[in-house]
Amino acid sequence: MTRRTIVIIIGIFFIFSLAAFNASAQNPFISEKGKENEKKVERVFQFPPFVQRVITKISSVQRDLNRRMSKLGREIREGTNRWAYILLALIAFFYGLIHAIGPGHGKAITFSYFLTEDRAFLKGVMFGVLIAFTQVIMALVVVLTIYFALQRAFLASFESFSRLIKLVSAGLIVGLGIWLLLNSLGYIPGFHSHHDSKKKGTVSLSFLAVAISIGIIPCPGAVILILFTINLGILKFGVWLALTMALGMMITISAVGILTLVAKDILSKTLKGKHLSGLFQQWAQRAGSFLIMIVGIFILLGNL
Amino acid sequence: MFRASGYLIFLFLLCCSSLLYAHPHVFIDTTVTVRFDDKGIVGFQITWLFDEMFSSMIIGDFEENRDGTFSKREIENIREGAFSNLKNFHYFTYISVNGKDCSFLSVTEFTAAIHGERLIYQFFIPCRISLEEGEKTVKVAAYDETFYCDIAFADNDPVSLQNSEGYTVRYEIVQNKKNPIYYGQVFPFETRLYIRK
């Protein structure tokens, strides 16, 4: 193993450990005190100035979007603006797109999974669809259950439920990651073998399982939006809004899947000879499975 | 080959670093009222005006009789269920005098109200600052280190003074570029007060 490879692997673990800290990001109105070592890491790992400027700008855009959505929601309730429905739907779509760039929407899993997949850009889209819509449907189910069936304090109930579902999701993902890894190493037959994936257009069980395992974590952004529409008395429209938001999220997540496949394709093409190319595919599959397992472990650690 | 694998690694890092991307769910407009007595500053009254979405969630949870106002009992429930935990997060307020941190353990006079569609919290931070000698620079920074909440000073009257006759006060509101939070993504807002007797 070259020194460069070792450095890269260490770097990847470091980045993942940062991800672990963020995987535990919770509502400060309810959750425990922030951990000391997290704060130290925060101070050490800083984005460069030009990135900071971009992010500061995006932060103020988010604040503005939030305000506009609230205003349009009220206008719908009062019936004072006939364009409000369309405008709000457009903003929800855009909001979903930007929102999915943020933490917790399955991008690391998507990247890892598509390392194990063969080129089929449609699969990238489908994966994004699965994750985004599962997250939003889950958000709908959770909000409606807590609000109507349980009728208990929403804030506390949601935080507890969210933590529980993250643990379940993490467990599933770690399990799937281990299974995929053992399969890629040839120790066990799998529901996702390298041969199967050569048939373009087929979607393996592992494809569905991984996407849904990460998708069951409800998106807090969608939850707040849906709750808001309930309080405004426009829940039916709220459901449509949530689905529109899912559409935006899907674009971002699918983009990650497709970009991963493109990168793999470029890499694969630079490798001359069928033998090297096959070896590369094999190692990519192993790396991807391993990363899926690692992501799961970090979500687990962040929520225990 | 290495260029292509560099591309792959870059994409990977982008995915992971996006996990750290600044992403608030709650937006707060804050104002500060500085309370004086004849010896100096007694403390700071902080007001938070929340965004409508979060407001509707808290109001929905805690306002039981739907009359548009909070009763004393409802305010106490809010304090316990959606405020007191902020002790662990410094009540999102950081005070320093001439560069030295002014720590405080608890806050008082908590109250909650509904203003139009929005929720307001108000509380007092006792923090004695003597102003007998010379000019002092007092900084009041407002931020949530987890960035679950994005806090900015209100456009109208972000800072007001109580009992300040006898003191000369200048103030400005800046974004502290030297103290970014949340992995260096966010520059918190702070009020800088230059006060002399």
CA distance A205 to chain B (A): 24
Which ranges constitute the DSSP H helices of chain A? 3-23, 36-44, 49-78, 84-99, 107-115, 121-144, 154-184, 205-215, 220-232, 235-270, 274-303
Query: Between chains, do A266 and B7 touch, taking CB under 8 Å as contact?
Result: yes
DSSP chain B: -HHHHHHHHHHHHHHHHGGG----SEEEEEEEEEEEETTEEEEEEEEEEE-HHHHHHHHHHH--S-SSS--HHHHHHHHHHHTGGGGGGGGGEEEEETTEE---S--EEEEEEEETTEEEEEEEEEEEEE-SSS-EEEEEEE--TT-SEEEEE-SS--EEEES-TT-EEEEEEEE-TTS-BTTTTB--EEEEEEEE-
Total Cβ atoms within 10 A of residue A7: 10
pLDDT digits (tens, 9 = 90+) for A293-304: 888 888 888 777
d(CA A297, CA A122): 29
Query: Between chains, do B21 and A101 touch, taking CB under 8 Å as contact?
Result: yes
Report the pLDDT value the prediction gives residue A197, as an integer from 0 to 100: 47
pLDDT band at residue A272 under the 50/70/90 scheme:
low
pLDDT band at residue A38 under the 50/70/90 scheme:
low
Report the pLDDT value the prediction gives residue A23, as an integer from 0 to 100: 46
pLDDT digits (tens, 9 = 90+) for A124-135: 899 999 999 999
Beta-sheet strand order (sheet of B168-175): B100-101, B93-97, B136-142, B189-196, B168-175
Residue type, A298: F
Residue ranges per structural domain of chain B: 22-196
Closest Cα partner for B31 from B50, B4, B52, B12? B50
What tokens does B155 get? Answer: 């456009």
The residue in chain B having the minimum alpha-carbon distance to the alpha carbon of residue A68 is B52
Q: Above 90 in pLDDT, residue A271? A: no
pLDDT digits (tens, 9 = 90+) for A223-253: 888 988 988 888 899 999 999 999 999 998 8
Query: Between chains, do A155 and B81 touch, taking CB under 8 Å as contact?
Result: yes
Report the pLDDT value the prediction gives residue A1, as an integer from 0 to 100: 46
pLDDT digits (tens, 9 = 90+) for A59-98: 778 788 888 988 998 888 888 888 889 999 999 998 888 8
d(CA A70, CA A88): 9
d(CA B133, CA A254): 63
User: Distances from the Cα of B191 to the Cαs of B139, B159, B169, in angstroms?
Assistant: 6, 8, 12
Residues of chain A neighbouring B150 (CB-CB closer than 8 A): 59, 62-63
Report the pLDDT value the prediction gives residue A66, as an integer from 0 to 100: 86
d(CA A290, CA A40): 28
What tokens does A59 get? Answer: 């932060």
User: Distances from the Cα of B51 to the Cαs of A63, A96, B83, B111, in angstroms?
Assistant: 9, 19, 16, 17
Report the pLDDT value the prediction gives residue B109, as an integer from 0 to 100: 94
User: Distances from the Cα of A250 to the Cαs of A112, A135, B33, B91, in angstroms?
Assistant: 17, 10, 45, 36
> Kindly report the CA angle at B185 between B182 and B188, in degrees rounded to 5?
75
Report the pLDDT value the prediction gives residue B75, as an integer from 0 to 100: 93
Residue ranges per structural domain of chain A: 57-303
Report the pLDDT value the prediction gives residue B72, as an integer from 0 to 100: 92
Report the pLDDT value the prediction gives residue A46, as an integer from 0 to 100: 60
pLDDT along chain B (197 residues), means of 10: 63 58 81 92 95 90 85 92 90 92 90 92 94 89 87 90 89 84 74 88
Q: Determine which of A9, A66, A116, A241 to mutate to test the interface with B (most B C-beta atoms within 10 Å).
A: A66
Total Cβ atoms within 10 A of residue A88: 27
Query: Between chains, do B51 and A110 touch, taking CB under 8 Å as contact?
Result: no
pLDDT digits (tens, 9 = 90+) for A156-171: 788 888 888 989 999 9
Query: Between chains, do A263 and B8 touch, taking CB under 8 Å as contact?
Result: yes
- Tell me which residue in A12, A42, A263 faces B182 most closely, judged by beta carbons: A42
Total Cβ atoms within 10 A of residue A286: 17
The rounded mean pLDDT for chain A is: 79
Count the alpha carbons within 13 Å of B81 in the hemisphere toward its beta carbon: 20
d(CA B67, CA A67): 25
At what angle are helices A205-215 and A154-184 packed, to 10 degrees?
150
CA distance B51 to chain A (A): 7
Report the pLDDT value the prediction gives residue A49, as an integer from 0 to 100: 67
Q: Which phi and psi angles does A108 have, rounded to 5°? A: -65, -40
Query: Between chains, do B7 and A62 touch, taking CB under 8 Å as contact?
Result: no
Q: Determine which of B5, B8, B118 to mutate to test the interface with A (most A C-beta atoms within 10 Å).
A: B8
What tokens does A181 get? Answer: 């890894």
pLDDT band at residue A5 under the 50/70/90 scheme:
low
- Tell me which residue in B4, B24, B144 faces A266 most closely, judged by beta carbons: B4
8 A C-beta contact, residue B44 and residue B32: yes
**Complex ipTM:** 0.78
Protein fold of B22-196:
Acetylcholine Binding Protein; Chain: A, (2.70.170)
Report the pLDDT value the prediction gives residue B182, as an integer from 0 to 100: 67
Report the pLDDT value the prediction gives residue B160, as an integer from 0 to 100: 93
Query: Between chains, do A15 and B186 touch, taking CB under 8 Å as contact?
Result: no
User: Distances from the Cα of A117 to the Cαs of A16, A104, A110, A259, A281, in angstroms?
Assistant: 22, 22, 10, 12, 9
Beta-carbon pairs below 8 A across chains A and B: 175
Taking residues A163-190, report their average pLDDT: 87
pLDDT digits (tens, 9 = 90+) for A195-233: 444 454 556 888 889 899 988 988 888 888 898 898 888
Report the pLDDT value the prediction gives residue A24, as an integer from 0 to 100: 46
Report the pLDDT value the prediction gives residue B35, as an integer from 0 to 100: 94
pLDDT band at residue A7 under the 50/70/90 scheme:
low
8 A C-beta contact, residue A254 and residue A133: no
Residue type, A264: K
Query: Between chains, do A47 and B185 touch, taking CB under 8 Å as contact?
Result: yes
Query: Between chains, do A29 and B82 touch, taking CB under 8 Å as contact?
Result: yes
What's the full length of chain A, in residues?
Answer: 304
